[in-house]
Structure 1
């Protein structure tokens, strides 16, 4: 937890890992890189990074190691090896790999057992934003450690937010936010399929889809207040009306032979909630019943 390092190691050179390493190099931080698949470091080395021959050599090169791979299975396969684990002892590991909150906590316990200072984190914006003001990073773990490493993490650009000492908190935010994103993307893909079956081109629908999307940001804040307060107001839209709309989507989709299983699941949840006597309340009442069968 000493002052911020002047050197960093990046493990994992997929598109995001290369972007992270490139941002460190561009900021003048001595950057060592390593990847399980050889050859991905070539361009970074040309930019000024140092290529390591092994993961153990890579972590030994810097007081701070940043890892960004596909999931925690891949991270464990690299980090939980004798020489690598030993090399990390007394150093700091920042894990920007996406996975579940419990996997993050498990890695935190492993790090503590081996004398490794550990921060977990998530990247909430796409690869092109890294190194720019548009990047968004979230972190969790010991605040003192986060503050010590913040100066070098700032080389990645954008905003960095420490969410708390619970090592799994950043992953929990990540999972919740990706839930919004991929559910929305699935809905849009389905909408394009339904529109196409009715002879509507994707580019014809897109401006109206953008209008629907613009409705959501202010609703997110309002509905969060409803759920937190337990108000679940149906003044703007009753759950009974929502169910009717969902049924129309299911019938239109299946009339064209389009899979409507996602909307059927949403409709089923809404109907179960309404059957418990909440038809006059708002849609977010379903949050109380998502775990029930």
Structure 2
């Protein structure tokens, strides 16, 4: 531990006051991030969350919301829908983006800046602005009210963020590795698969996890193009707890706790890829 601190000049030169201020800021950030989750979990254990709002502990632990979510709503069916739709769309989108980002990051061609500009500009287009053209296209393709419609939409959504992450990771890979692969007789596709992809795996995995989380939590398109209850995704399921006359808050909060568990577990499993990707894409010898 002491050896690591000595090798890091920022840790060595940090004053005591700076350390204390840094820890206070980190503690405040953790508190702000965890407060909604703690509030949600405590509320899910109350029989009537409105009777004891906020962080008041429940008089008695009520698990009716969790039981009804699994027994009556068959939440695992919707988990399966979300897992299939989000997983397949991520594989399609990341495969396309990782190859296209390789071309943009490692090759020179006319219109390269225009391609970058067009991809990055999609970050500023809200989903509501694309409602009519996408809805019309889905109907013309005769895939409305199918899982394929959501897979098609999700695979083409959020391209700019994934492209930005993967492209920046590609840009830090030395060109000498590609030249060595060319000497060995590898083409562009084989160079990407054998050389670039293994090195850039942390960046690609990071983009994949971000895309999966975005697709898992997406509600707008899922509620728009899916009508059959059996085909709904997990976020669209939450709307069933609210009717014109009342809202089942105990069941709603319990379902929300169950829904956020897979993203949390997924991030914990792949957290090392986030750390490696944020380190700048350093190439290990």
In the superposition, the TM-score normalised over structure 1's length comes to: 0.22
Which structure has more relative contact order (CA 8 Å, sep 6+)? It is 2
